[in-house]
Copies of this chain bind each other. A is one copy, B any other.
Amino acid sequence: MTIRIAIDCMGGDHGLATTVPAAVHFLVSTQDASLLLVGNADDIRHALTRHHVKPDARIEIVPASEVVEMDDPIEVALRRKKDSSMRVAINMIKEGRADTCISAGNTGALMAISRYVLKTLEGIDRPAIATVLPNQSGVTTVLDLGANVDCEPDHLLQFAIMGSALVAAVEGKERPSVGLLNIGEEVIKGNETVKQAGELLRASPLNFYGNVEGNDIYKGTTDVVVCDGFVGNVALKTSEGLAQMLGGFIKEEFSRNLLTKLMALAALPVLKRFKKRVDHRRYNGASLLGLRGLVIKSHGSADAFAFEHAIKRGYDGAKNGVLGRIVLAMQQMHPELEPSVVKPEQTFAETII
């Protein structure tokens, strides 16, 4: 089965200069995928030509006349730019022409348009943004990362269900462990919302580990870490800031003088391995979960290498039936929801058409 991926080619800080080379490189390495490149048709064609590629059965250009700018207010993106590359790319999922869609554009606009065009899944009040972060032995999936600044206990439970389904589908773990981000391990810790969410999680069929703390994200104590979008966003940005500062310090110390530069040269193979291991570009691509379609948000400043990872994340999610998995999990939790014929291995586009 071919996975059909819509790409918003105009989004992000670098637009076509990043998205098209990433798309071309991805397609070479992934035989069972086809791409819909959305944006200014002439510009996309030129960019493809530069990579000696022409549109064919696996790579189609879908024209869109507008672009959502990084600083466009959500209202402008949603109401005034109905032919934006972002919106047209999302439409591809709705029309059943794509199984997933990738954009490096404005997060708020992407979430708003996705929600408006695709709608949320049965039983999900609010979509959430999930990402993977490296841990000592693998990755930890964290959500929400900023879509929901005020959460009720029930929302945190829904995030846990969606995060579990994502990990179960993509990493093939049958019952991923779920941690609730808190400021202590004891049940009595935290604010009211978190305490109540803990009770809901303990009563749920999920593999709930209990409370975890910030450091557990990088220890890898659980497969999934659940938190509200405010806390998740702060945790993510704080991590980015710390990693950047430490990287800067290492660079500074090694370039202090000729001697230290020689030392850097001597240690280069190790430093390179280390750098590769913690390269944040490999973790690029956050999943917007809870929608009737799988939308992937790439970092706005992603380069082609990073953007390709975001494409891969969409491909993996669609291929492994993340959406079907979420739908099934929601039905198991709430049998009163309308029954559905979704099977986990189906992509969602197949399900809703």
Interface set of A (CB-CB < 8 Å, partner B): 134-136, 146, 149-150, 181, 183, 190-192, 194, 213-219, 227, 229-231, 233-246, 248-250, 253-254, 256, 260, 263-264, 266-267, 269-270, 273-274, 277-278
Contact = CB atoms under 8 A, between A and B. Distances in A.
A231 B183 CA distance: 9
A255 to B, nearest CB: 10
Nearest to A273: B253
A136 B278 contact: no
B269 A266 contact: no
14 contacts: A135-B245, A136-B245, A183-B230, A190-B230, A214-B234, A214-B238, A215-B237, A215-B241, A216-B241, A219-B244, A243-B246, A249-B274, A253-B273, A260-B270
B214 A240 contact: yes
Could you say which of A135, A216, A217 has the most chain B C-beta atoms within 10 Å of its C-beta? A217
Could you say which of A149, A192, A244 has the most chain B C-beta atoms within 10 Å of its C-beta? A149
B266 A260 contact: no
Nearest to A241: B215
A264 B264 CA distance: 10
A143 to B, nearest CB: 14
Contacts of A253: 270, 273-274, 277
A148 to B, nearest CB: 10
| 7 A-B pairs with least C-beta separation | A215-B241, A214-B237, A214-B238, A218-B241, A267-B267, A183-B233, A266-B266
A270 B218 CA distance: 26
Contact of A264 (B218, B240, B250, B270): B270
Nearest to A276: B253
A245 B190 contact: no
A203 to B, nearest CB: 22
Given A150-B191, A183-B229, A245-B134, A237 B263 contact: no
Given A183-B230, A214-B240, A215-B237, 4 more contacts: A136-B248, A194-B230, A218-B238, A235-B238
Contact of A246 (B183, B215, B278): B278
B235 A218 contact: no
Contact of A146 (B183, B194, B216): B183
A267 B239 CA distance: 26
Nearest to A227: B234
Contacts of A227: 234
A245 B236 CA distance: 15
A191 B230 contact: yes
Contact of A269 (B229, B263, B277): B263
Nearest to A212: B237
